Amino acid sequence: MSDDVAFAGNLSFLNLGELLQLLGTTGSSGTVSIHTAHTAQPALIYIDKGTPVNAANGSKTGIDALFALFGWLDGQFEFVQEEVTCEKTITKSRMEIILDGLRLLDEGQVEILGPTAAAESKPTHTTAKSGSLPLIKGPLVDYSYVVDEESFYDGDEIVQEGNHGNWIWVILEGVAEIVKETPKGSLSLLRIGDGAFLGSVSSLLQADNVRSATVTAAGNVQLGMLDSQLMTSELANLSLDYREFVRALDIRLKQVTSMAVDIYAQDKKVAEFIQGKKPLIKQGQNEERLFKITSGNAIVARETDDGIVPLAHLEKGDFFGRVPFLDMGNEPQAASVFASPNLKLAALDPQALQKE
């Protein structure tokens, strides 16, 4: 290994999605080079502050090159930490890239390169259509916050939607499935793995927290119970703006889930969400500011080839804009903001929040 290489490994042990998540949690900048026996030239991924901004893979560049790399089942990778000066051609968020790349792989739209490629058959129409739940992993576990460990077995219900509870866990090992109840039945949203959290940050801000979804063990799961008293104490020592931002972020995440349920259950038509609202931030717009709503409301929505997909309904006290230290896959790069006629805003200093 070169002295300049900060991190290296094999894609057969750590796949591309996991590698991108790991680099994202460190916020590192540099270049990932991937060598495989199945191609003559190495592939390159350029990372800026934890997010891919460009890639090169044979004749392909940008997002097309990066998506193609999700089909590389083996190969040696090296990450060299350095300043990235290449042109930014990839505008998708890190999580959006991972989810889209895994979906394309699952649907058979990405060529598989690896020892099992010849044995792999193209997914059937049913598999490609239905797909599989995305797996989201979290950062490396900080064991200084873990005060106890609990084990669950395949099919065990860890948390039940509607129950009350303030415990927050981190997944030490294994996979759990998140499920919401809808008028049309149960809706499986996603799977979470090592380093991901179970629970709500709102439980640190209020005494009685209602579980917003059911969590079930998908295989054997080892959980670490976090020190809620320590985290509550640390949060209380931060500024009011930061605490309100954390509260609003928790609401935003629940809003995204609720929107998915409404659309799945067809309780609301998509057009109803943005009716009477005007575009304020266009998806992909170079917007560096962060705002807090003082009156009125707004809708965050992603513009896709199949139309507009609403993500969240924001009201007084909520935030929108660019958060430099948080990759949510929302506005401004990956979603638009539509404002009510009476919307009023206050500008915030994102750098002050980042320092905290």
Instruction: Give the HSE-up count for residue 142: Cα atoms under 13 Å, Cβ half-sphere.
Output: 8
Phi and psi angles of residue 167, each rounded to the nearest 5 degrees, phi first: -70, 145
> Do 315 and 333 share a domain, yes or no?
yes
Residue pair 256/312 in contact (Cβ under 8 Å)? The answer is yes
> So what's the pLDDT on residue 42?
92
> Do 123 and 172 share a domain, yes or no?
no
> Do 110 and 177 share a domain, yes or no?
no
> Do 187 and 113 share a domain, yes or no?
no
> Do 250 and 264 share a domain, yes or no?
yes
Residue 224 tokens read as: 């670490």
pLDDT tens-digit profile of 27-43? 889 999 999 888 888 99
> Do 221 and 327 share a domain, yes or no?
no
> Do 9 and 123 share a domain, yes or no?
yes
Q: What is the domain extent for residue 91? A: 5-132
> pTM here?
0.69
Q: Is the backbone peptide bond immediately before 324 cis, with ω within 30 degrees of 0?
A: no
What residues contact 344, with CB distance under 8 A and at least 6 apart?
A: 293, 294, 295, 296
Last residue of a domain, one of 201, 235, 269: 235
Residue 131 confidence class, pLDDT cut points 50, 70, 90? very low
> Do 190 and 253 share a domain, yes or no?
no
What residues contact 248, with CB distance under 8 A and at least 6 apart?
A: 317, 318, 319
Q: What CATH number did the domain enclosing 251 receive?
A: 2.60.120
> Do 106 and 169 share a domain, yes or no?
no
Q: What CATH number did the domain enclosing 218 receive?
A: 2.60.120.10
> Do 21 and 126 share a domain, yes or no?
yes
Last residue of a domain, one of 218, 235, 252: 235
> Do 257 and 185 share a domain, yes or no?
no
Beta bridge partners of 60: 57
Q: Which of 64-68, 196-200, 290-294, 352-356 has the lowest mean pLDDT?
A: 352-356
Structural domain total, the chain: 3
Candidates 183, 218, 212; CA nearest to 198 is 212
Last residue of a domain, one of 108, 132, 156: 132
Cα of first residue to Cα of last residue in the chain, in angstroms, is 36
Residue 212 tokens read as: 């917003």
What mean pLDDT, rounded, does the chain reach?
Answer: 85
Q: Where is pLDDT greater, at 272 or 304?
A: 304
> Do 11 and 122 share a domain, yes or no?
yes
> So what's the pLDDT on residue 337?
93
Mean pLDDT score, 179-189: 88
